[in-house]
Each structure stands twice: as C-alpha cells, then as structure tokens.
Amino acid sequence: MLIMNYEKYALIDLHLHLDGSLSPEIIIEIAKEEKLKLPSYEPNELRKYLEVPENCQSLNEYLTRFDIPNLVLQTKNGLRKCLLDLLKREANDGLKYVEIRMAPQLSTAKGLSQEEVVQELIKAKEEAQKLYGIKSNLILCLMRGNNNNVANLETVKIASKYLHRGVVALDLAGAEALFPNEMFADMFLLANNLEIPFTLHAGEAAGADSVRSAISYGAKRIGHGINSIHDEQLMKYLADEKIPLEICPKSNLDTKTIKSFDELPIKEFLNRGIMVTINTDDMTVSNTNLKNEYKILAKIGLTDKQMRQIAINSINAAFINEAEKKELLMFLN
C-alpha cells in the first residue's frame, strides 16, 4: 500500500494525553488482571464508552470519557503496560518522538505516590525506546479545580526533581472555562522560579484572553490556542515571539471549539508566521492518530510545503535539545 504524501510528516506528537489514548484491548487486559469492573470486556463494545459521540457538545462532556481509562492507571503494572502499549502503537505508525502528558495526582487512588507514578512511567518509556525505537518524554499535568493546589504543588516539585531525566515540562489541563489560568498563578510562579518550562491548555474552551493570560505567566507553548484567531495583536505576538500552538484538529471538532474542519484557522496562522504544530490530543477519545490529523490538513487544502513546515515546527517546538532536534529533522530529508 502506497503511503499518502502527507503521512510522511506524521513523525512528532507534542500534545498527547496518556489516559485519553489507551486502547480498549490494554484496558481490558489490565482490568482482568486486577479484577476491575468494566461496562464491557469486548473491545468494540468498550470503545463506545471511551470515544466521544459525534454529537458531543463541549469540552466538559469530552472530559467524561476519561473515567474508565483512569481505572487502569492506578498501579505500577497498569502504568507500565499502558505506556508500553501506547508507544508500541505510535512506533508502528511511524512516529519518532512523542511528548506524553499525564497527571500523576490522578493515579494515586490505590496508594501510589505521585513520585512513584512518575518513576514507573520513566522506566516504561525507556523500556519502550529499547523495544520499539521510539523516543518519548513526559509532560506532567497540573489539574484545574477548586481544591487541587496541594496536589499541584507536589507535581511541580516532582517535575523539578525529574527535569531532563524523563520529564521535560509541566502543563495545566482540565475544564478551562470553569477554572481560568489566574487560579493557578502561584504554580506558574513556582515553575518559573524552578526553571521548569510549561505549556498551558488555553484558547480551547475559553477565548483569546486565556491565551494572553497563559503567555503572561510564562507559557512556552500553547495547548490548542485556536481562539487566538480572534485577536490580531495576539497573533502578531505569537508570530514575533515564536510561541508554538499545539493544534489538535479532530479534538477541536469534538469539543466544538470549531464547528467544522473548514473553520480551522491553520492556513491563516501559517500565513502570519505563527508556529503551528499538529497533534492528536486523545487518540482513543477522538478516534484518531497523527496520520489522520495530517489527512484532515490535506482535505482542507494545505499544501505539501505547509505540512512540511508544520512537521519542522513540531520538531523545533519540542522540549528537547538541539542535537536531538537535528536528529529528528533528518527524517524529513
């Protein structure tokens, strides 16, 4: 089977959530081992509980699909198997580098500490590199909410301890419209003081002001950022300061950030010199993979040159050193 031209650019995913990308098969395997109750133990049937329906109305509804995956991310066995399975699938799809997001505070229900969670995932990602040849790093998510600051503070400290040892950055995830960035200003100040880079979900369920806020706190990248299109000065700032946008087309459609793929402002962003990157967000919840995301770009008329630029942007935006970036750029030659 001939590889479509756009698929050769599907090499780097910078915005990929572990819990939103678990296969039904691995969830069932771990559930049986750990005697966990699932609504179904048949993969195609379970998938109905993991994917969002076409009539999903919002990000808040989208987030309800994470309950079942988090059941199998509570033990070292589950964490290891889930990450190995994900990275094996990504390697088989031709990806060379992935930055995987997860909130360690959500994997402590059965007694693991946040640090134990991160340690296990670092070991698993190193094992996956040896087994499948795919490189990866972790981005640790802080969680939006009213009572999360104690857990978030711990996550920041762990990110600092394991920075450049498997962890490369922090993130802030969750219900953006309900819990704005300003609620977590102390966490961003601490991260800056500890010199931990971070990318924030912004401009997805909230408007351009959320992107401005994220930048003001020191975000090095913006998760989604679609609503930047409504602010001319913000777009100029994003271009001038080379702040990458982590756009996830299928997810943006599912959460109703856009009403159709034709509304994706990617061409305009590129024409303005903004560093657009293309990612999956949640492969299982959105029933997608990186090749599919590039297929969407081809369908809405992006040229080969534009898609190549996006792939280059993704490499340059990664939280890795220059030598590692040069190594990845070789795959585009």
Altogether, the residues listed in the chain come to a count of: 333
Q: Residue 195 phi/psi, 5° resolution?
A: 60, 40
* Measured distance CA(102)–CA(118) in Å, rounded: 9
Contacts of 201 (CB under 8 A, 6+ apart): 171, 172, 173, 174, 176, 223, 224
* Measured distance CA(159)–CA(12) in Å, rounded: 22
* Measured distance CA(266)–CA(306) in Å, rounded: 10
* Measured distance CA(298)–CA(317) in Å, rounded: 22
* Measured distance CA(177)–CA(252) in Å, rounded: 15
| Tokens encoding 263 | 């509304």
Helix locations, 145-231, DSSP H = 149-161, 185-193, 208-216
**For the chain, how are helix, strand and coil distributed in percent, rounded to 5?**
55, 15, 35
Contacts of 264 (CB under 8 A, 6+ apart): 226, 247, 249, 252, 258, 296, 300
Please give the torsion angle defined by the CA atoms of residues 295, 54, 279 and 108, in that order, rounded to the nearest 10 degrees.
-150
Q: Which of 204, 232, 246, 324 is catalytic?
A: 204
Rounded alpha-carbon distances, angstroms, from residue 293 to 10, 46, 140: 8, 24, 24
Respond yes or no: is residue 204 known to be catalytic. yes
161-183: buried (b, 16+ CB within 10 Å) or exposed (e) per residue? Answer: ebbeebbbbbbbbbbbeebebee
Residues labelled catalytic: 204
